[in-house]
Chains A and B, each alone.
Chain A
Amino acid sequence: MSTQTTNAGAHGPDPVARRMIAANLAVVGLVLLLMMLFGILMRMAQGGWLTINDDLFYQFLTIHGTGMVGLAALGGVSVMWNFASHYMQVNGKVLVANFFLFLIGVVLILAAIFWGGYGGAWTFLYPLPAISGGIWSAGAAFWYLLGLLLVGVGILLVCLELGRGIITTFGGLASGLGWPYLFGMKNAVVPPKVIVATSMSVIVTTLAIIGGAVVIVLSLVNLMVPSFAFDPLWAKNIIYFFGHTIINATIYMTVTAVYSILPEYTNRPWQTSKIFVASWMGSTIMVLVIFPHHLLMDFAMPTWAMVMAQILSYTNSFPVMIVTGFGAVALVHRSGIRWDMASGLLFLSVFGWMAGVVPAVIDATIVVNSVMHNTLWVPGHFHFYLLLGMIPMVLGFMFHSTRDRGEGTVGHVSVKWMVPVYAVAGLGFVTMFLLGGANSVPRRWAVHLAEWMVYDQWAAVFAIIVTLMATLFVLRYLARLPRYLAATD
């Protein structure tokens, strides 16, 4: 793709990595469908169409949140590895280690939730895991957190290996980010866009997981020795530093697919520029420091930090809007792009990411947050950029990697309706969350008031359509996998 810098020995994922990426994406696809199903059940329960026990609802909430974040991270590192390994040599065995850590983690998490009854949500906000009001035991919380830790360690290993690759090939993470080039240093390497994004993702994910690991370990000790307590406000800061950063990092990882694949489809170059490097420098810093916008309603926080949180949340939207989003639109505009599943989904993903920023930025305004915080507005915003941004990136990559033109059984019409249907239903689904939020419906409520149910019911309908489309996408991928794997072995 880029003529700029490549490493002689690097030709994409090694055979082990190739198979592991396929395996990871198969897992991602299947887990996605299962988690969507839990999502539908939650929306139906809130809409009064389904009666489930409150504790089961919160278990669904916990597994849905954890599973979705987990699969986003797994999908993110897989896509990123795939493209980054075109520019450097990395050892695919690390993906094997990650895969097993992920599986063991998932087993622990599933057991903790459905056997142990843990329902403390994926944010495990201290001291809730230890104080469940008699619903789940300290043991259940313990196994949940341990499982989460293992998943995190697996993702961390992948990031460390990619980081090692960048350091040995490009001479450091700062060079991977393109800083020497940005600051006009002599003989500076111009890193490919994929490497800039990978460098950023590796840095922020590593820091996020270290932060998360610290709170998890402290919480584990607290579960074993309840007298060992720590400051809940501090814990909340670190937890949101972890949570905000990790979920955002997944989209910065996966956007490597957009950078690599869209230029192929449009037959236009999309080169690294100084604006691009500067914007990713901004993102690297801002993603790490804007998490306090989750604490705007904690008036014990210093006011200057809250003011900064609002302002930085505004500026954080610039790289997405003006550089990546705008850049992608300009790349496609009047390019004669070939539309198929992959290009359709990737273009949709750019839309989802850009538009999803809008409700987020608005909610980061403190006076708005005062009446929107922890309402359905919040899931409205993040489902926007996850369901219509991050997930279409992964799906688009799946189609692209198996050279699926969207022909065959569903016919050439596929791209003419499947992607648009997914997009419209997805938009309807997130709109119902946003409408709920605008009407003060609280998030994470198992039971809704009758006044609120209309949004829940429409959301359930849209969600079913989205899930049907996602099922078609994932099944097509799985069906093509054996041929894809056989082709190179």
Chain B
Amino acid sequence: MQELAWYVTLVVVAVIIVIFLRVVALSRTVVEHDTVQGTASRLRVGLFWGLIILGVIVAAFSLRGIPQLAARAGGDVQVVNVDSMQWSWDIDEPELVTGVPVEFRVSSSDVNHGFGIYDPELRIVAQVQAMPGYVNVLRHTFDEPGEYQIMCLEYCGVNHHNMVDSIFVDLPGDAAADGTGDDTGADAS
């Protein structure tokens, strides 16, 4: 997902850069304003509908996979209660298995924190806010075993960057958590 976001941004920004550079390059070759206006309004209409169609398609696909809906699905889950406080995590079940959805029930006992799950390659796979007085439910299914780090993703004061902990994901039936997984992490949020 991160790569996709990055490359789409790169390409679209590059296109905008090219357009601006071209306009600068051509700025001295003067033509009538009306001529430019005519082309511009036709292009504008095209752009308008193009963006609408693109937006509808992207929204239709992307909204189906949102984590808010996943949290409501039924089925067997591994329940993990997470409490947070300045500046540590309290995770009642840090040993988990792959393949079975994990339901993180995340809260805070002081200020806002952010429960960010990093795979062994230091890539975020899912996150949810930890807010005092609320329990936010995040479901995530781990596909790859390994040690996943929990890092704080909401500014919570001077030790915010030290609010790091780990959870261990094993293959089902594997007793010992070895925590050295080096596979690419799941990206199924």
Contacts and interface: CB of A to CB of B under 8 A. Distances in A.
A438 B6 CA distance: 6
B122 A451 contact: yes
A326 B86 contact: no
A231 B112 CA distance: 12
B182 to A, nearest CB: 14
Contact of A370 (B24, B40, B132, B189): B189
Interface stretch (B51-59, B75-83, B173-181): B51-59
Nearest to B30: A336
Contacts of B55: 311, 314-315
Interface string A315-340: 10110011000110110111111010
A351 to B, nearest CB: 5
B19 A330 contact: no
B188 to A, nearest CB: 10
Contact of B67 (A299, A317, A329): A299
Contacts of B114: 297, 373-374
A54 B112 CA distance: 19
B80 to A, nearest CB: 15
B167 interface: no
A480 interface: no
B31 A445 contact: no
Contacts, number: 229
A18 B26 CA distance: 37
A155 to B, nearest CB: 25
Contacts of B138: 299
Contact of A355 (B1, B16, B125): B16
A318 B54 CA distance: 12
| Size category of the binding interface on chain B | 35 or more
B68 A306 contact: yes
Interface-centre pick from B1, B6, B23, B118 (highest chain A CB count, 10 A): B23
Question: Range of interface residues on chain A?
Answer: 35 or more
Interface in B43-70: 43-44, 47-48, 51, 55, 58-59, 62-63, 65-69
The 9 closest A-B pairs by CB, nearest first: A330-B40, A336-B30, A438-B6, A445-B161, A374-B153, A133-B86, A299-B136, A444-B155, A440-B124
Interface of A: 54-55, 58, 119-121, 123, 125, 127-128, 131-133, 135, 231-233, 236, 268-269, 295, 297-300, 303, 306-307, 310-311, 314-315, 317-318, 321-322, 326-327, 329-330, 332-337, 339, 347, 350-351, 354-355, 358-359, 362-363, 365-368, 370-375, 377, 434-435, 438-440, 442-447, 449, 451
20 contacts: A295-B129, A297-B127, A300-B131, A303-B68, A311-B55, A314-B55, A315-B55, A322-B47, A332-B23, A335-B30, A354-B16, A366-B66, A371-B2, A373-B114, A375-B124, A440-B123, A442-B151, A442-B153, A446-B160, A447-B162
Interface of B: 1-6, 8-9, 12-13, 16-17, 19-20, 23-24, 26-31, 33, 36-37, 40, 43-44, 47-48, 51, 55, 58-59, 62-63, 65-69, 71, 86-87, 110-112, 114, 116, 118, 122-129, 131-138, 151-162, 189
